[in-house]
Amino acid sequence: MKHIMALSIFLVILLGIAGAAQAQAKEIKIGVVTLQMRSPYFISMVRAIEAEAPQFKNVKLFVADGRGDVAKVTADIEDLIAKRVDGFIMNISPLESLPGPMAAIKKAGIPVMLLNRKLRGDPYTSWIGADNLATATGVGEYIVKRLEGKGILLMMRGGPEDNSTGNARRDGVLSKVKGTNIQTIIAPAFGGWTEDGGFKVMEDMLAKHKKIDAVFCENDSMGLGAMKAIRDAGRSKEILVFGFDGQKEALRQIMIGSNYAGTGHNDANTIGRMGFQRMMAILAGATVDTDTPFPVRVINKDNVAKYYDPDSIF
């Protein structure tokens, strides 16, 4: 099961807060805003929030799916402000900023809990998510180990060019590859963070390069797509795949000993649960950390059994 010690401690501390919140007669309204819920990662995060809410009997959630449309996200936030929600829990990846709506939230005096990604220049109350640079540095170290410091490493980006999450993940891996005898190739096309996108980019790169020893994809969805393209080309024995996030399907591939060799841990379920509990702490008047990065964890064949959950959505 995917657990971290910090979550257990956090939940124990919040038992008292839960009791205090439930003792209040006032209904507590929380708006949960996402840019899109098409990917398993974001669905899992929202489901985790919904699973936590029932312990607070006077909490009502309003879940808004932006369906990939920034204009709809803006309208959703305006609607939730009009509904006088007490707090916002937001994951609007891959947006880097949302100045107008965030300014409106600030003007209304409503606390904001960001999950997974921070927003550039926009005010927020608290954030919980992966330390992408540090975790990717760990992945890079493992790549160097598996390649024994030599070979050709393909880097697959999610895009767009200024995506801070993808850039941090790429930079972390490259920081460890630098100074070794590993040659890097940056795929010119973006995989779009999807399995289909990863498949198409990998298929194209396999046609252009007769020798590739490993590929690092900025998330596991692209990694799984790349793995399929490699398999279809009959090159699974010669190319290792590395990803990021800890998606269930990727962990299963690691467990069965496929060429999917490792991934960085970025647990959507735990982030969602902690994010909801953090918001309840904020609404109860507790002083909370502004930023809470996850501990660095690289999942590979040696530790995957600790993280694989066959019942996980993501």
Amino acid found at 34: T
For residue 244, the surrounding DSSP H or E stretch is strand 240-245
- What is the three-class DSSP state of 147? helix
The stretch 92-109 carries a mean pLDDT of: 85
- Say if residue 300's pLDDT is above 50: yes
CA distance 93 to 81: 21
pLDDT of amino acid 117: 84
Beta carbons of 221 and 195 less than 8 angstroms apart: yes
pTM of the model: 0.84
pLDDT of amino acid 20: 45
CA distance 10 to 243: 29
Q: Which DSSP string do the residues of 105-136 spell out, in sequence order?
A: HHHHT--EEEES---TT---SEEEE--HHHHH
**Residue 280: CA atoms inside 13 Å, Cβ hemisphere, count?**
31
Amino acid found at 169: R
**What are the residues whose beta carbons fall under 8 Å from the beta carbon of 166, sequence distance 6 or more?**
157, 158, 159, 218
Model confidence pLDDT, tens digit, residues 8-24: 444 444 544 554 444 45
**Residue ranges of domains in the chain:** 5-128+267-295, 132-265
Question: What pairing do the DSSP bridges indicate for beta strands 240-245 and 260-265?
Answer: parallel
- What is the three-class DSSP state of 100? helix
Beta carbons of 289 and 271 less than 8 angstroms apart: no
CA distance 92 to 83: 20
pLDDT of amino acid 24: 52
Residue 182 exposed, middle or buried by CB count within 10 Å (0-12, 13-18, 19+):
buried
At the topology level, CATH places domain 132-265 in Rossmann fold (3.40.50)
Weakest-pLDDT range from 90-94, 145-149, 221-225, 267-271: 90-94
Q: Do domains 5-128+267-295 and 132-265 have the same CATH topology?
A: yes
Structure-token match 């993940």, residue found: 169
Closest CA to 260 of 227, 221, 307: 227
Domain range 5-128+267-295, its CATH number among 1.10.10.10, 3.40.50.2300, 3.40.50.720, 3.30.479.10: 3.40.50.2300
Which segments within the chain are labelled E, that is strand? 28-34, 59-65, 87-91, 112-115, 126-129, 150-156, 181-186, 214-217, 240-245, 260-265, 291-293, 298-300
Portion of the chain with pLDDT greater than 70, in percent: 92
Model confidence pLDDT, tens digit, residues 240-273: 999 999 999 999 999 999 999 999 999 899 999 9
